[in-house]
Chain A
Amino acid sequence: MTDPMTDETAPVTEGAMMRATPVRHLAPWLVGLAVMVPLPWVAFNDYQRYLLDLILINVILAVGLNIVKGFAGQVTVGHVALMAIGAYTSAVLTTKFGAPFWFALPGAMLMTAVAGAIVGIPSFRLEGAYLALATLGLAESVRIFISATDYLGASVGYSDIPPPSLFGMPLNSFRSYYFVVMPLAVAGVYFSFCMLRSNIGRAFKALREDPLAAAASGINVRKYKSLAFIVSALYAGCAGSLAAHMSPGFLHPNSYTLVEMVTVLLMVVLGGIGHVWGGIIGAIIVTIIYDLTREYYQYQLLIFGLVIVLTVMFMPTGIGGIIDRYLVNRGFAAIRKARKDAA
């Protein structure tokens, strides 16, 4: 008998799931990219192009939140504050320091990653609702700090944030901005996909389900909690910076309230906690609904909150989870039937 621990020629059964060559590994992503290129021309008007950009920014945000909340199971309510830090950092870097967008974006992401690491510290000791409260406190203080700081436009807002420019051409239309946002969104989704399919994703899921069993399996729980917070903060910083430089180049602290937080949470919960595609599905659906119901601003929090509660109660794994379960069930229908017959 060969040794399963060392034998490399063992038949690849489950392993066949992993794509075998670089071409097959990257092909779906390149196809996806190609499909997305003509979308701004498919859109009928500027409003739809604006919505398209917004959806993609929210996809980045939600995919990031799904990493820390969905996969690593850390109940953070501070994500929009991280987005705010990214947005304002990017705005300050371009307007006050004259940095081009292409430097401001990574700068904002770096700044947000540091903030994310700080937001993650309470998670070493707190769980669930307590962690939610701690992160909410941090988030609100960021928003209040912005509202009270004249340098950041205080409650008047921060205006005249320049659009990115490429070879001297400002990318200020929603169509041209799409080609800044879209590749970043695709790359972000790709990176999250790779990460969550690797041992990092499994470590996140393990510490979500049972930190003690994860540690006993050799997983450094603090390291992976921090990693989840930092990586998701990088996404939030990227989304924040993109939101800042999108026309009309205006930021206001009211864009980072509890309503926005609940909205982002809803994207992840509805799309499917801990499901790689969940954040994307959720971001698309929720952004559209959010924008269509803008007129009923006063009811949004109520409705979105209700939908979260209902989803958690009746569809805890979200849309992605239902798809997952369908696929799994299909695979195991035979075994279950045999069991039922035996019983």
Chain B
Amino acid sequence: MLLEISGFSKHFGGLAAVSNVDLNLEEGEIRGIIGPNGSGKSTLFNLISGVYQPEPGGTMFFDGENVTGLQPHEIARRGIARTFQMLRIFAQMTVLENLLVGHHCHTHYGTPSAIVGRKAVWEEERRVRSEMMDLLAFIGLADYARMPAGELSGGQRRLLALGRAMAMRPKLLMLDEPAAGLSPVNVDKLLDTVMALKERYGLTVIIIEHILKVVMDTCDVVSVLEHGEKIAEGPPAAIKDDHRVIEAYLGKEMDDAEVRAYLRSS
């Protein structure tokens, strides 16, 4: 098991955004997390990445280590990278700098060396910059390296958010609705990039996704959230036919024909 989460809960006031969720991931797996709007998917990501502390009773083990309650930067250092639903790219920094920030943890030189400008520092900077340029080329943004990230188009921003997470050289990559707002062609392109990165670096991936088709096509296992609870989990084919899931997802009861039509169209 790469990631073992048990009993994660988070309340906002009286609202149970996530309640008593378990999640276990095998190394190399692609996990989909689906669920209607407000079902707690992003909150679950925030719990995993340390943005929120889980309530007492929740535990999280990553790569065999107990990482329950660690700060976000400590979680990140252990090899968990995430993207945000609202991307949160550094708009005023250049595209390349965004990736360099992602690479932060892998810096070898220390603060004093950086301040006095030792040779080792700029040699490493040079090397890392060229590594990041290669990564930019891989995700197709090399031409924009020195452009302020705020000037990128919507699709390019999504790629950059992905690139910044990849610059962290993570073991586990968590993507929060990575394809939201993209045209179908760009959705496919983005997913191809994700898959290529996964193959190349042997990643484990969790994707939160609204577009059912994306989840069904790409994921090994799908977990379904509703009102903060995990109501189903299994391979896409099984999930697809689970009436509870479909009802939860669509928020109403449907007959089989309607459901099939929906799944085809989405």
Binding site for B on A (CB under 8 A): 2-8, 10-15, 17-20, 22, 25, 190-191, 193-195, 197-200, 202-203, 205-206, 209-210, 212-221, 227, 231, 274, 328, 331-332, 335
Contact = CB atoms under 8 A, between A and B. Distances in A.
B147 A198 contact: no
Contacts, number: 156
Given A191-B117, A219-B101, A198 B109 contact: yes
Given A8-B127, A213-B88, A332-B147, A25 B117 contact: yes
B93 A14 contact: no
A20 B122 CA distance: 8
A277 B73 CA distance: 31
Nearest to B82: A216
A63 B131 CA distance: 31
A199 B88 contact: no
Given A212-B88, A215-B73, A15 B127 contact: yes
Contacts of B226: none
B101 A217 contact: yes
A125 to B, nearest CB: 15
12 contacts: A4-B138, A5-B201, A7-B131, A11-B130, A14-B145, A19-B122, A197-B125, A212-B51, A215-B76, A218-B77, A328-B148, A332-B146
A197 B16 CA distance: 45
Q: Tell me the interface secondary structure of chain A in the complex.
A: helix
A7 B134 contact: yes
B88 A210 contact: yes
A328 B92 CA distance: 12
Interface string B169-213: 100000000000000000000000000000011000000000000
Interface string B58-102: 000000000000011100110001101000111111001100111
B133 A328 contact: no
Contact of B104 (A5, A20, A203, A274): A203
Interface in B25-73: 49-51, 71-73
Contacts of A198: 109, 114, 121, 125
Q: Tell me the interface secondary structure of chain B in the complex.
A: helix
Given A217-B168, A218-B73, A227-B111, 15 more contacts: A4-B138, A7-B131, A13-B130, A14-B129, A18-B126, A20-B126, A25-B122, A191-B115, A202-B93, A205-B92, A206-B101, A212-B88, A215-B76, A217-B102, A335-B144
B86 to A, nearest CB: 10
A163 B219 CA distance: 73
B143 interface: yes
Given A218-B168, A219-B73, A209 B126 contact: no
A213 B89 contact: yes
Contact of B126 (A15, A190, A199, A328): A15
A33 B104 CA distance: 33
B107 interface: yes
Interface string B196-237: 000011000000000000000000000000000000000000
A209 B133 contact: no
B168 A328 contact: no
Nearest to B106: A218
